[in-house]
Each structure stands twice: as structure tokens, then as C-alpha cells.
Amino acid sequence: MQNSNRELLIQRGLELLTERGLAATGLAPLLKDVGIPKGSFYYYFESKDEFGYALLERYADFMNYKLDKYLLDNDYSVLDRIHHFIDSAARGMSKYEFKRGCLVGNLNQEVTLLPTKFKPKIESIFATWEQKISNCLRIGKETGEITTAVNCDDLAQFFWIGWEGAVQRSRLTLSREPLDIFFIFFKTVVQE
């Protein structure tokens, strides 16, 4: 029961932080939504910031699972794998009318206001994601799908830079078009 309360808080927290980040998320309305008293919240989390940090970790786990699911699927070419990841993210955003974006990107935006431990955590999450894309691109180089002219690590950094920009823009246009435009040009770069 206590664990399920913690999980309720995490789930509602993920919904709110992907939509609005931490600063704009009020603890009181969140607790009201899930029907959990303030005292119970502080039983699970030391502070709102610690709660945000736990959400960041959970979100990173979720994304790592999703990235591995698509990027390690060797039934497909590497560009198809990346496209499947993008398509899955686009369908996920569409399901919530493009209100929810990337929790890591949202907290990146607020990083100057957050406790100092958030910055290395966000950097390490991006480093892990970059590694996953980079490994995928390296396979593509071996199979000849990706030009050998590019540095896979730089290209992976470029991928996540563009991806975060595209997710943010999709939340404005309320459409997947920015994600698709980003992928079209990303493909141009890797196939150059």
C-alpha cells in the first residue's frame, strides 16, 4: 500500500513534469489529484527537489528501456531503428495532445534553479543516450548504411541537441511535424 502510494506520486509527477517542469509544478494540487496527504509525501521524499530527482531517474530508466528496445532491434537497418524510436515518441506525444515533452529537456531548461546535483545527473543521462545512438550509428558504418565521413559521437550529440529542440517545437505546433523534419535532415547528414 505504501509502495503503491509512492508509485502513484511518481506516475502523477511524471505526467506533470513532462508537461511543465519542476518549478511550475505545485505540490499541493499534485497531492490533491492523487488523494495523498502532505505527511505521506514527506515519508517517501525529503523535499520537492528530491521528488524531482527521483522522477528524473525514473524517466531516464524509461527512456533507456525504450531506446534499447528500438536501437538494438537487429531485424531492422539502423536508420529504421532510429525512425522507429522517433515514431514511437511522436505517437506518445500525440496521445497527450503534444502537451507532454521530455522531462530531461524540461529540467535542463530549469537547471540554473535546481540543486547542484541535477546538472551532473542530466549530463550523465544525455551521455548514456548519446552512447546508445552512437553505438547504433557505428553499426550503420559497418554495414555501409551510414557515411564513414562522420564522427559517430559528434553525430550522436547532434542527434540529442536537435531532438530536444524538435520535442519543444512539437509542443508549440501541437503536431509531429518538427520531429519528422528533424529526422529528414538528420538522415541527410548521416547518408551524406
Residues lying near its own copies in the complex (CB under 8 A): 19-21, 23-24, 99, 101, 105-106, 108-113, 119, 122-123, 126, 150, 154-155, 157-158, 160-166, 168-169, 171-173, 178, 181-182, 184-185, 188-189, 192
Coil, strand or helix at 145: coil
Q: Following DSSP, what letter does each residue of 95-131 receive, concatenated? A: HTTT----HHHHHHHTGGGS-TTHHHHHHHHHHHHHH
Q: Which is nearer to its own copies, 36 or 101 (CB)?
A: 101
> Which candidate, 124, 136, 44, places its Cα nearest to that of 84?
136
Q: Which is nearer to its own copies, 11 or 151 (CB)?
A: 151
- Residue 182 CB, shortest distance to its own copies, in Å, is 6
Q: Which is nearer to its own copies, 76 or 96 (CB)?
A: 96
CA distance 127 to 117: 16
Q: How far is CA 133 from CA 13, 40, 127, 129, 144, in A?
A: 28, 40, 10, 6, 16
- Residue 178 CB, shortest distance to its own copies, in Å, is 5
Q: Which is nearer to its own copies, 31 or 189 (CB)?
A: 189
Q: Taking a C-beta distance cutoff of 8 angstroms, is the pair 111, 49 a contact?
A: no
- Residue 166 CB, shortest distance to its own copies, in Å, is 5
- Residue 81 CB, shortest distance to its own copies, in Å, is 20
